[in-house]
Chain A
Amino acid sequence: MGARSGFLAAVLAAFVISGLFTGHPEAAWPLAQLDDYLLNILILAGINVVLATSLNIVNGHTGQFSLGHAGFMAVGAYGSAALTQINGKACLAALSFLGPCAQGGLFVCALLFGAALAALAGLAVGLPSLRLRGDYLAIVTLGFGEIIRVVFQNTEAVGGARGLTGIPPQTTLGWTWAVAALCIYCVSALVNSTYGRGFLAVRDDEIAAEAMGINPTRYKVTAFVVGAFFAGLAGALYAHLIGYISPEGFTFLKSVDVVVMVILGGMGSTVGVAFAAVGLTVLNELLRQAEQYRMVAFSLLLIVLMITRPQGLLGGMGRFFSRKGGNP
């Protein structure tokens, strides 16, 4: 199928590019002159790709409308910062046997720790929400996101409303896009298998899926956990990019941003959603000066899209793994 070699190539490319961009500013390579502003946007785009493709497995492939992605992102951000900032010295000391790699090693551990915590949160939200559908599920997940935020806001140990500063800025372009590649690979690999057809079956017709021996509960929880895991990774990357996190960064509006990316890209189309994530990140930056009109622009974009292409920009095409004969 060549899927794995494609994936490895993508990861390799991500690392090579990261080397080019972040290695030595004085290197002869022209791309290395990339200024910080552009670099930041590229990294943010990668983080948004992770967020959008991971939400896509819940909202797009499994058809469960979740509005709580920012909550999982927050869990990942705070969870990772717990290792690198709050307990940074102790953790570094524990990893001192790694020598010069200790800093990097801690960063990887922090990413995984944040993601694992987020996955646990996904499990905690997924299980009780399973009986809910459509609007009800959206409301519950929205509520969950807000609860998480309020909890962080009121926990002095993580800085409360002031937030956490001094998180080591270790997120690089390479790391971000490697995670993005991993996320795209995982979601596509899962969906493009007999096992993964279960997600789509649950979305298309839950009663028929059950009648075919597919357990919708298991698929929904799996989708939630996988989605939350990658949202947590994205949150951890974000925390170590900006170096500062506060509960205000993970509001309901952030969840909406991600939902917009998924809808724009076409629910269930991995490639489409990834492109939409990049496009909207750039658009976001262009509209930075006109912050108050941003939501208006997004809404207009959505309305126009719903009228002209309800299946999303790339909806119904552009799957990561194409097979001969093609899928609809």
Chain B
Amino acid sequence: MNRLLELEKVTVRFGGLVAVSEVDFHVADGELVGLIGPNGAGKTTLFNLITGVYTPTSGSIRFLGQEVGHMSSSDITGMGVARTFQNIRLFSSLSVLDNVVAAFNLHLKSGFLGALWRGNAFRSEEQSIREEAVRLLEIFGLAETAHAPCRSLSYGDQRRLEIVRALATRPRLLLLDEPAAGMNPTEKVELMRLIQFTQERFGLAVLLVEHDMKVVMGICQRIAVLEYGRKIAEGTPAEIQRDKRVIAAYLGEEVTDA
């Protein structure tokens, strides 16, 4: 399978702290990969590196064969990487629908002048964007609340909206940072099913951070484990379950979704 994302000896340092250390890792096209590890292991930091929020201190990050380590966040998204945030970052003053609409910006044909002139091409594009946004919202059961302020959504729905918003950028790789945090077990299972559904429907590769072992083991084809910024294991769910270092890393630690 061709490699969509490739990390080679990626390291990032914050002062004295090495948050991610020499991580080798890859995601292939259409794959659903889990990324787990105890709190502070560096999972979110790895996402921030892949999406250009941080620049790696050393090492290389390639997407579709192109080095993206020093590219801006928006350019990387333009190449087909989308993400959600662990600490929800919606556009708080916008409606549910507008949060999604804003994310269509990337593929917009009528820009500044189109918005001013408001001709037919502009109007039909706006119309189709709105329709597509609503279709995406429908998949995640949010179409009814399309015109509500996004702040009024429940915590779980805000997380769902983050996924919809990310999908609106038409990614090839979707990074989900604890998308089921704060949800009850039933909701979690439901969300994971949705993630699998969208992954197949849009032909996405997904990299999923999730603390709930059962959930991760259930849907991921492959799992990588981080601890103190290092990758300590990688393999199929069955292999990870047996891995001594992984067991040690989690031993005595409450695995919660806090």
Contact = CB atoms under 8 A, between A and B. Distances in A.
To the question of whether A and B form a pair in one complex, the answer is: yes
Interface of A: 1, 3-4, 186, 189-190, 192-198, 200-201, 203-205, 207-216, 222, 268, 325-328
B57 interface: no
Nearest to A63: B93
Contact of B91 (A1, A204, A216, A268): A204
B45 interface: no
Contacts of A212: 74, 77, 82, 102-103, 105-106, 165-166, 168-169
Interface string B144-184: 00111100000000000000011011000000000000000
A149 B42 CA distance: 51
The SS class assigned to the A binding surface is helix
B112 A222 contact: yes
B115 A213 contact: no
Interface string B34-56: 00000000000000000111000
A210 B73 contact: yes
Interface stretch (B7-15, B122-130, B203-211, B232-240): B122-130
Interface residues of B, number: 46
Contacts of A213: 74, 77-78, 103, 105-106, 169
Contact of A196 (B82, B95, B115, B168): B115
Contacts of B123: 1
Interface string B120-145: 00110110010000000000000000
Contact of A204 (B51, B92, B106): B92
Given A201-B102, A208-B90, A195 B111 contact: yes
Q: Give 4 closest A-B pairs by Cβ, nearest first.
A: A213-B106, A325-B147, A328-B149, A193-B115
B60 to A, nearest CB: 21
A186 B113 CA distance: 10
B73 A195 contact: no
Contact of A326 (B51, B102, B116, B147): B147
B111 A205 contact: no
Contact of A200 (B78, B102, B103): B102
